[in-house]
């Protein structure tokens, strides 16, 4: 697939883009070593059963019989034959997966996958996602956004707030901050509030919840204006050069001009309210103080949306969360997930940025047996599974740029109990807590955000590094690559 940006050292100059991005889409297919690749954008990772069945049919009839899950909660089809683009587009169009062909690559909306499902969910930001998607598809200017530009909608648990959004919305717990948002004595509307952030600017803007989708689109339009003025061809907010960076203050001017009230929030307060955390940790939702320093009510801890298992909701409802081994599912596994959603769930599925699937709407009686059925089919259902937090790029033979078959090597390492090569026996606690990602070349396509263990194929074998946010990899000794082994069979 087209290269992801390399890990850029802190302080490095942003790139100058002299062309549009080459991100694949559902209509713009990418030519890979194993055939053509299509990436289907799924705002907030959402799918109806009918749409999931359409993707299974596409993989079965046109692709290699598998679906790949991406770190943005989208789906990819690989091994597509020459000349199948029209048939693929027709399948997706009939299922409602192409609401606007001109916007299909810019519908990059990532949302907290457990929003509205667990016992502590103050805001279903997926409603924001639905409205934002509609606004995007109706916006002429939005067609100029890059296929890499990302909207992130966090429900307040902090699970996706740290995943590199260009425009991020974070719902405030308990509808905090319901005072003046305009600076002119205008009270906030009912519906809670949200913090809007752009790129890496630590400051934020507090906006009324009902205004959140329109504010996010306005912020994206402000980025397009800044990118055009810079002459840099920037695809993302972080790529804007010095002197042309997009700040919360600049976005505030655009919001007010559009009639959207907002109040600027200092970076320290914004970070406290957003509650962003590393995606592998457990959120702290004990409730100590709110943004004003007043005591916040104690609350039920958020469920960890990156972990597999049964999610307990209110009124006895359950949701199932499972992960795909190395982010890849067979059509048979996908159809089983779809059947569970149709027969025992709410008729919907949610893809997660941890390459997993959430099925909402099960009863307490059906959740556990269905989870066992999914486990027997080869899906990751236990947070203690050695496959949990292990990922890999496509590698050979699908990617000609890869130095080796990293997926086979990762499989062999996990099977041997050493997902980080070069560490015989129990892995160090520091490494066990971090995602481990195997890459076949320096592009590291699909690598995690935040802190992670980088297992990179080189001419001499695998080099292991620990990557920290805003840093270059810190070397960690490792020997040559383990012997390749076949991937475990899937049903």
d(CA 211, CA 324): 35
pLDDT at 270: 59
Q: What b/e string do you get for 445-471 counting C-beta neighbours within 10 Å, with b at 16 or more?
A: bbbbbbbbbbbbbeeebbbbbbbeeee
pLDDT at 284: 36
pLDDT at 35: 93
pLDDT at 482: 39
480 closest CA partner among 427, 408, 409, 429:
409
d(CA 290, CA 275): 11
pLDDT at 110: 97
* 8 Å CB contact between 340 and 320: yes
Contacts of 69 (CB under 8 A, 6+ apart): 75, 76, 324, 327, 328, 329, 351, 352, 355, 356, 357
Listed in sequence order, the DSSP H helices in 101-182 are 126-138
**Which neighbouring-strand residues pair with 438?**
392, 455
pLDDT tens series, the chain, 491 aa: 333 334 454 456 677 776 778 899 999 999 998 999 999 999 999 999 999 999 999 999 999 999 999 999 999 999 999 999 999 999 999 999 999 999 999 999 999 999 999 887 656 799 999 999 999 999 999 999 999 999 999 999 899 999 999 999 999 865 433 344 543 333 334 478 999 999 999 999 999 999 999 999 999 999 999 999 999 999 999 999 999 999 999 999 999 999 999 999 987 655 655 554 433 333 333 333 333 333 333 455 788 999 999 999 988 899 999 999 999 999 999 999 999 999 999 999 999 999 999 999 999 999 999 999 999 999 999 999 999 999 999 999 999 999 999 999 999 999 998 888 875 555 556 666 889 999 999 999 989 888 899 999 999 999 998 998 764 444 444 434 433 333 333 33
pLDDT at 14: 72
pLDDT at 292: 31
**Which neighbouring-strand residues pair with 206?**
195, 263
Residue with tokens 């597999």: 308
Contacts of 232 (CB under 8 A, 6+ apart): 14, 16, 17, 239, 240, 241, 244
For residue 467, the SS3 value is strand
The CA R_g of the chain, rounded to the nearest whole Å, is 22
* 8 Å CB contact between 239 and 232: yes
d(CA 163, CA 437): 16
pLDDT at 272: 59
Quote the strand ranges of 29-88, DSSP E.
30-32, 35-40, 46-48, 66-69, 75-80
pLDDT at 268: 61
End-to-end CA distance of the chain: 26
Q: What b/e string do you get for 174-190 counting C-beta neighbours within 10 Å, with b at 16 or more?
A: bbbbbeebbeeeeebee
pLDDT at 121: 63
* 8 Å CB contact between 425 and 379: no
60 closest CA partner among 338, 411, 325:
338
pLDDT at 20: 75
């Amino acid at each position: 697939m087209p290269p992801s940006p390399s890990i850029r050292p802190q302080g490095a100059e942003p790139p100058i883009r002299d062309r549009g991005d080459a991100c694949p889409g559902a209509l713009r297919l990418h030519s890979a070593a194993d055939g053509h690749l299509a990436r289907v954008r799924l705002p907030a990772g959402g799918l109806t059963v009918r749409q999931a069945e359409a993707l299974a049919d596409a993989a079965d009839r046109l692709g290699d019989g598998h679906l790949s899950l991406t770190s943005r909660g989208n789906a990819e089809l690989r091994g597509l034959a020459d000349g199948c683009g029209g048939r693929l587009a027709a399948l997706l169009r009939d299922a409602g997966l192409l609401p606007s062909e001109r916007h299909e690559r810019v519908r990059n909306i990532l949302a907290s996958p457990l929003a509205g499902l667990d016992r502590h969910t103050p805001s279903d930001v997926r409603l924001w996602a639905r409205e934002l998607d509609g606004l995007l598809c109706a916006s002429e200017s939005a067609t100029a956004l890059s296929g890499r530009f990302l909207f992130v909608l966090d429900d307040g648990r902090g699970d996706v707030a740290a995943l590199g959004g260009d425009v991020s919305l974070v719902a405030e717990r308990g509808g905090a901050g319901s005072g003046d948002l305009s600076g002119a004595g205008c009270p906030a509307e009912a519906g809670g509030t949200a913090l809007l952030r752009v790129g890496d600017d630590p400051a934020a803007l507090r906006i009324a919840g009902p205004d959140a989708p329109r504010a996010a689109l306005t912020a994206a339009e402000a980025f397009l204006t800044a990118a055009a003025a810079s002459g840099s061809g920037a695809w993302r907010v972080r790529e804007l050069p010095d002197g042309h960076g997009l700040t919360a203050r600049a976005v505030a001017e655009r919001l007010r001009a559009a009639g959207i009230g907002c109040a600027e929030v200092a970076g320290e307060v914004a970070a406290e309210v957003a509650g962003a955390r590393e995606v592998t940790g457990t959120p702290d939702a004990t409730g100590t103080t709110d943004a004003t320093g007043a005591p916040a009510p104690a609350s039920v801890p958020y469920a960890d949306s990156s972990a597999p298992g049964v999610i307990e909701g209110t009124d006895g409802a359950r949701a199932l969360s499972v992960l795909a081994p190395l982010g890849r599912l067979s059509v048979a596994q996908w159809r089983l997930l779809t059947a569970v959603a149709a027969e025992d769930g709410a008729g919907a599925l949610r893809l997660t940025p941890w390459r997993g699937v959430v099925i909402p709407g099960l009863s307490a009686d059906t959740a556990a047996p269905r989870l066992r059925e999914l486990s027997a089919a080869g899906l990751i259902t236990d947070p203690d599974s050695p496959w949990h937090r292990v990922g890999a790029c496509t590698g050979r033979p699908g990617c000609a740029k890869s130095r080796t078959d990293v997926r086979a090597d990762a499989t062999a390492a996990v099977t041997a109990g050493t997902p980080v090569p070069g560490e015989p026996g129990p892995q160090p606690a520091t490494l066990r807590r971090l995602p481990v990602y195997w890459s076949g070349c320096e592009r590291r396509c699909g690598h995690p955000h935040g802190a992670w263990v980088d297992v990179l194929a080189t001419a001499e074998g695998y080099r292991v590094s620990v990557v920290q946010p805003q840093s270059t990899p810190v070397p960690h000794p490792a020997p040559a690559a383990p012997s390749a082994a076949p991937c475990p069979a899937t049903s």
